[in-house]
Amino acid sequence: MIKTSLILAVLIFLFVTFYYRFDYASGIFVGCGWGCSNLYLLANLITQATNPGGVDRKRVVLLVLVKFPLLYLSGYILLKLKYFPVTSLLAGFTIIFAVILLKALGLLIIPENQKKDKKLHAFLNKPEVREDLKSESGNISSPGKIEF
């Protein structure tokens, strides 16, 4: 999700730079980077703090020290600089939520069993698999013939 969000932010950056203003486009990109960093650090913090194999306290403390003071201080500085419009920072920050929503909707629209069927179909259409299946079809005692 983070990689998809950053790719989308680059595309939006290029589009907005060309059709609107550079500072607004930069704000969208920086806001998306800040949101992706926030999600990455939060996910790692939760994973490390709830590790059933044992908590690595040094890593948890490091993540807490990076996430809360440094990340939020950088967000405060971004707002105080007033170079980036606040709306552009907020627009960039919401890109990751839009990607999460669209990926969840994609899972609702394309159920998991259809994905597995496509994978099975692609596997069965490989030439080496087709040859193996054709050679095995001669060993079947039923009168029907297997066609692919």
Distance CA 51, CA 54 (A): 6
**Token pair in block for residue 58:** 């040094």
Q: What is the pLDDT of residues 8-21, one digit of tens each?
A: 999 999 999 999 99
Cα separations in angstroms, 123 against 32, 120, 127 = 38, 5, 9
Note the pTM of the prediction, 2 decimals.
0.69
Are 37 and 2 in contact by the 8 Å Cβ rule? The answer is no
Query: Quick one: pLDDT at residue 35?
Result: 92
Are 66 and 9 in contact by the 8 Å Cβ rule? The answer is no
Query: Quick one: pLDDT at residue 25?
Result: 94
Q: What is the pLDDT of residues 67-126, one digit of tens each?
A: 889 889 998 998 898 889 999 999 999 999 999 999 888 877 876 656 556 666 666 666
> Closest Cα partner for 95 from 21, 20, 40, 36?
36
The residue-averaged pLDDT of 30-55 equals 89
Q: What is the pLDDT of residues 51-65, one digit of tens each?
A: 888 888 888 899 888
Query: Quick one: pLDDT at residue 148?
Result: 46
Query: Quick one: pLDDT at residue 116?
Result: 59
